[in-house]
A and B are shown apart, each in its own frame.
Chain A
């Protein structure tokens, strides 16, 4: 191979091509546990600070140290923040994956690599920049452990020079990341400069990729992970009880919440907590505690992922039948069983919608952005108390753990909806308290909670009548089940409505939900710009479905439902409620290899099914 490989100076199509400004993806391939996350966040933030829309996606292993990990920073002047399928600029730091990483690049991409890896011998259609990382780090520090950690800052320095990323922004981002640790800042700054200086002296720019300052796209925006946004939402929703069990990718939600609660929910006078957090022994107990607290009148939540959802089935059924409010965040990950714990997916949709045995169904809120994580967290508590039932917020690893550009969150303006709580006046009006009697016709009964002074009742997961007394009578059972159905229909009027764009009435429609949204935006632009195909788009934001969904299907010839799972779970769920005419219009685009969905794949698949 090396015989035919041209010398480094001759490589690179970019040297002759046009400049590509603010529209490319940088992928950093490292080993996890090597401290690359700091370098990656600084890279992301400094581009963001230059006014360029960015997204950062971490593809990491279910491991603490030693396995390959990839971090992708996408810069997009048009504001696309979905994953970009093609990598334009690779930083190859991991000897183990370097060869494969290079071989999968598209022609024209650029590669910064650790010099001893000799990657330039692999291909002739890429631009290679060798950097002797070990040599450069030597003068920065003598401490071997520190060397390993700050080594990654060198590539930030190299990229700063090669991509024209403002060093001052790098420095600002570094200081923000490391805070007041001056020693660490200095050390990292030195490494950053070492990389920059090396690139300035030894590497000549031969690729087309450039970052230039922009205006009007990132002003006032924030960078945040969905899990943190959801945590803030829970706090603003007045959560007082959290029962949780650690599981990737949901742990950071409760951990962020604990931090926020510690900071903002201590009684200012006594300094004591006004909330309770219990790390449970498993997910069964976590939801058990939440149901116990919800039954007691507290606003209670837990967060989990697929395996935890499986364990929570039992208590979810109890919460449904005994009608106890609870809020459960499902930060979805990929795979049956343990599956791919650190990969993303939307694979719990069907099982969560009807979680637990017997006839059950549960409301689900499906945020697509960090700001919706924040808003839906608040909506979920209101809905759970209004509906007196467990409510699920279905996010995913991509949204929960990756860094998203977002509008700042708005301070909540409406008061909490504590639902139908029986008070003295209402009791007088009703004459008699029957816990499960539908007095308002919406299927939602009145409840009391222990200690509120209202009449008591006996809550049970076994058959019960209107007065909450044990009953195995057929009419009691069916009356109760029918009322629960009525109640679920009431939820249709309470959940967030879908977002609809009817751009192509009579033609093609997209239906998607959650993080697929960002890929849909891009795919619709691609279809319009490249194929002159206009598409409509409906973004589902909740289950149960509302009339908008069925109107949308009626208004189009072909409707593509985009799922991030193999079995097209939302497509299946929609079909359950469709007329045969509507079912005939529905097509499915499943995406399920564990990485965030991208616009190009969607476009390709849609065109394939359209026969183009």
Chain B
């Protein structure tokens, strides 16, 4: 890497931080490296970044990258509020927050939830190792049911799925990755940094000291063994269809064409070999770690270019840019369409008077729901997109047994996404809790699939390419 310059003429050393003090082999260090790579690749000015964290091993890591950026290692579980105030106060900056599974899932769950709701432009990374490393290995809320501590203590509580929560609550880019998959992680990080809205990335990041033993579901071995990417297509902005007549689109398209992610997609992100095999009719490798004979895995697929690209797999994920996400899923004769409408980004509506410069920043406004629905309509062709207007109640859902399209609520859509990430399919009514005995017998609900689910994908700005991502909105002059 030495000597190689990025698009703004900086070496990668300009993006490095202090020497890590985490354990050798800690997954967090790998994530730190990917963060450095991502900012380097995107050509972001380091002093245009703020890095924030809470408390824990994960939260130490902002010190290990981007030395020239302002950083704030705050208090346990409270990074979201700090980040909220910071990004709203100066919206020129790119905010990356590093949290852990305890910092997010336990003490900070309240703030995490509300950060997701607000959908502010913040990259929120959870370095997820299923335990409290800094206090020597206690279970965290993402520890899987049935996984064990080094001492043999079994976890008897189900985990919190941070991705499902984030999707349900309105984060507009949600992904799960693995510190041991540099290629995917970097692509996701770059997408997140370029995204305007909250990007929530849960990165499985094994703790080599306290949670890398047999019986742990967050060990390197377990994660590698149970790793099944849902999809490796990255959404980078469609070329024109649907909203082509919009006056802003010409500019947005120009921007997109130069968008680093377009490059990232072309460079390496293709569907994995086993998906290609499956598409060609070659049977996939049988995989059933939990011994559930006949249990079928669902596979999601990101669709990039409209209806012709919608694969005929059993279920699939369609992500639509600009605030609208549609998930199609085939369950037996029932075809279910999950539809989620992104909320507006809070920061977009609250331009802030910057004290130093006195410059009032313009900000982009989301398109109306109708416009977004139109975009979605263009994308999936004849299958009409119905706007999500009312919450369907449980009884109605339960009665819907005929083979027909079911428009589910956002709540159940999120649950369905969780379902995509689990080994065992749940009942069609995603919200029904299994019986107590069923729960007892469910010794493990491995959380082992990476999912990449993108809900909203605004076009990045021109500065996104050469001066740091998403510094201004392409929709406003």
Chain A's closest residue to B118 (CB) is A278
A265→B352 CA distance, assembly (Å): 11
Measured between beta carbons, the chain A residues less than 8 angstroms from B63 are 458, 470
Among A275, A284, A458, find the residue whose CB has the most chain B CB atoms closer than 10 A. A458
A284 to B79, CA, bound (A): 11
* Chain B minimum-CB-distance residue to A418: B355
CA distance A513 to B108 in the complex (A): 38
Q: How far is the CB of A266 from chain B (nearest CB, A)?
A: 10
CA distance A322 to B70 in the complex (A): 13
In-complex Cβ contact of B93 among A284, A448, A451, A470 (8 A): A451
- State in angstroms the CA–CA spacing of A277 and B346 once bound together: 10
Interface residues of A in 236-289 (CB under 8 A from B): 238, 240-241, 243, 265, 267, 270, 272-278, 280-282, 284-289
Q: Given A241-B85, A288-B78, A461-B74, A299–B355 Cβ distance below 8 Å?
A: yes
Cα–Cα, bound, A123→B87 (Å):
66
Beta-carbon contacts under 8 Å, A335-394 to B: none
| A80 at the binding interface (Cβ < 8 Å) | no
Judge whether A296 and B85 touch: CB under 8 Å: yes
B240 on the A face (CB < 8 A): no
Given contacts A275-B353, A297-B90, A318-B74, contact A282 B82 (CB under 8 A): no
B52: shortest Cβ distance to chain A, in Å?
8
The count of residues in chain B whose C-beta lies closer than 8 Å to any C-beta of chain A is 45
CB distance from A410 to the nearest CB of B (A): 23
Interface residues of A in 274-331 (CB under 8 A from B): 274-278, 280-282, 284-300, 314-315, 318, 322
Contact of B89 among A287, A292, A470 (CB under 8 A): A292
Residue A457 at the chain B interface, CB threshold 8 Å: yes
User: Which A residues touch B80, using CB under 8 A?
Assistant: 285, 288
- Is A456 close to B, CB under 8 A? yes
Beta-carbon contact of B360 and A450 below 8 Å: no
Q: Provide the residues of chain B in CB contact with A296, threshold 8 Å.
A: 50, 85-86, 89-90, 93
Is B69 part of the contact surface with A, judged by Cβ < 8 Å?
yes
**Contact code string A221-243 (vs B, CB < 8 Å = 1, else 0):** 00000000000000000101101
With A285-B78, A451-B48 known to touch, is A273 a contact of B351 (CB < 8 Å)?
Answer: yes
In the bound complex, do residue B75 and residue A293 qualify as a contact, i.e. CB atoms below 8 Å apart?
Answer: no
* Chain B residues with CB under 8 A of A240: 89, 352-353, 355
Partner of B81, one of A265, A288, A449: A288
Chain B facing A: main interface SS: mixed
Chain B positions within 8 Å of A470 at CB level: 63
Q: Which of B50, B88, B362 contacts A241 (CB 8 A)?
A: B88
Q: A272-B351, A457-B70 are in contact. Are A285 and B114 (CB under 8 A)?
A: yes
Q: Choose one: B78, B88, B356; the contact of A278 (CB below 8 Å).
A: B88
B50 & A450 in contact (Cβ 8 Å cutoff): yes
Asked if A293 and B89 make an inter-chain contact with CB atoms under 8 angstroms apart, the answer reads: yes
B93 touches A274 (CB 8 A): no
Q: Could you tell me how many residues of chain A have their Cβ less than 8 Å away from some Cβ of chain B?
A: 53
B75 touching A243, Cβ below 8 Å: no
A-contact 0/1 string along B201-236, CB 8 Å cutoff = 000000000000000000000000000000000000
The CA-CA distance from A292 to B74 in the complex, in Å, is 10
Hey, what's the 0/1 contact readout for A434-469 against B, CB within 8 Å counting as 1? 000000000000001111110011111110000000
Contacts of B90 in A (CB 8 A): 296-298, 449-451
A369 to chain B, nearest CB (A): 29
Q: Which residues of A have CB within 8 Å of B75? A: 314-315, 318, 461
Q: Which of A511-567 contact B (CB under 8 A)?
A: none
Whether A450 pairs with B70 at a CB distance below 8 angstroms is yes
Interchain CB contact under 8 A, A292 and B352: no
Closest-CB distance, A198 to chain B (whole angstroms): 54
* A324 and chain B: residue at smallest CB distance: B72
B70 and A276: CB pair below 8 A? Answer: no
A274 and B111 alpha carbons, distance in the complex (Å): 25
Return chain B residues, CB-CB under 8 Å to A451: 47-48, 90, 92-93
CB-nearest residue of chain B to A421? B356
Give residues of chain B (309-347) contacting chain A, Cβ–Cβ below 8 Å.
Answer: 346
Interchain CA distance A272-B363 in the complex, whole Å: 10
Q: Does B119 count as interface, using CB distance less than 8 angstroms?
A: no
**B346 engages A278 (CB within 8 Å):** yes
Query: A294–B88 Cα gap in the complex (Å)?
Result: 11
Are the C-beta atoms of A292 and B351 separated by less than 8 Å?
no
B232 to A: closest C-beta gap in Å: 34
Within the assembled complex, what's the spacing in Å between the Cα atoms of A167 and B356? Answer: 54
Contact indicator B355/A288 (Cβ below 8 Å): no
Q: Given A270-B362, A461-B74, answer yes or no on A456-B68 (Cβ-Cβ < 8 Å).
A: yes
A270 to B363, CA, bound (A): 11
* Minimum distance in angstroms from A89 CB to a CB of chain B: 49
Whether B89 contacts A297 by the Cβ 8 Å rule is: yes
Q: Do B355 and A292 touch (CB < 8 A)?
A: no
Which of A273, A278, A448 is B84 in contact with, Cβ under 8 Å?
A278
Chain A residues positioned under 8 Å from B85 (CB to CB): 241, 243, 278, 288-296, 298, 300
Interface residues of B in 41-93 (CB under 8 A from A): 47-48, 50, 52, 62-63, 67-75, 78, 80-90, 92-93
Kindly state whether residue B350 has any CB partner on chain A within 8 Å. Answer: yes
Task: A465 to B67: give the CA distance in the assembly, Å.
Answer: 17
Contact of A453 among B47, B83, B354 (CB under 8 A): B47
Interfacial chain B residues near A290, Cβ < 8 Å: 85
Give Cα distance in the complex from A460 to B93, angstroms.
Answer: 19
**B304 CB, nearest partner CB in chain A, Å:** 35
Residue of A nearest to B92 (CB): A451
Assembly CA distance A241 to B346 (angstroms): 14
B477 nearest CB across to chain A (Å): 12
Expressed in whole angstroms, the Cα–Cα distance for A392 and B356 within the complex equals 24
Selected from B52, B62, B352, B360, the residue in CB contact (under 8 A) with A298 is B352
For residue B352, which residues in chain A have a CB less than 8 angstroms away from its CB? Answer: 240-241, 274-276, 298
Q: Compute how far the CA of A276 lies from the CA of B352 in the bound complex, rounded to whole angstroms.
A: 6
A280 adjacent to B88 (CB under 8 Å): no
B78 touching A238, Cβ below 8 Å = no
Report if B110 contacts A (CB, 8 A). yes
Inter-chain contacts of B350 with A (CB < 8 A): 273, 275-278
Given the interface contacts A276-B88, A451-B90, A458-B73, does A267 sit within 8 Å of B360 by beta carbon?
yes
Mind listing 13 A-B residue pairs with CB under 8 Å? Answer: A265-B353, A275-B353, A285-B81, A289-B81, A289-B82, A290-B85, A294-B89, A298-B89, A298-B355, A318-B74, A450-B50, A460-B74, A461-B73
**Pairs A-B, 8 closest by C-beta atoms:** A292-B85, A288-B81, A289-B85, A274-B353, A298-B89, A293-B85, A293-B89, A285-B81
Q: A450-B86, A456-B68 are in contact. List 15 more A-B contacts (CB 8 A).
A: A273-B350, A274-B353, A280-B114, A285-B111, A285-B114, A292-B87, A294-B85, A296-B85, A296-B90, A299-B355, A322-B74, A450-B50, A451-B92, A460-B71, A470-B63
Interfacial residues, chain B to chain A (CB-CB below 8 A) = 47-48, 50, 52, 62-63, 67-75, 78, 80-90, 92-93, 110-111, 113-114, 118, 346, 350-356, 360, 362-363
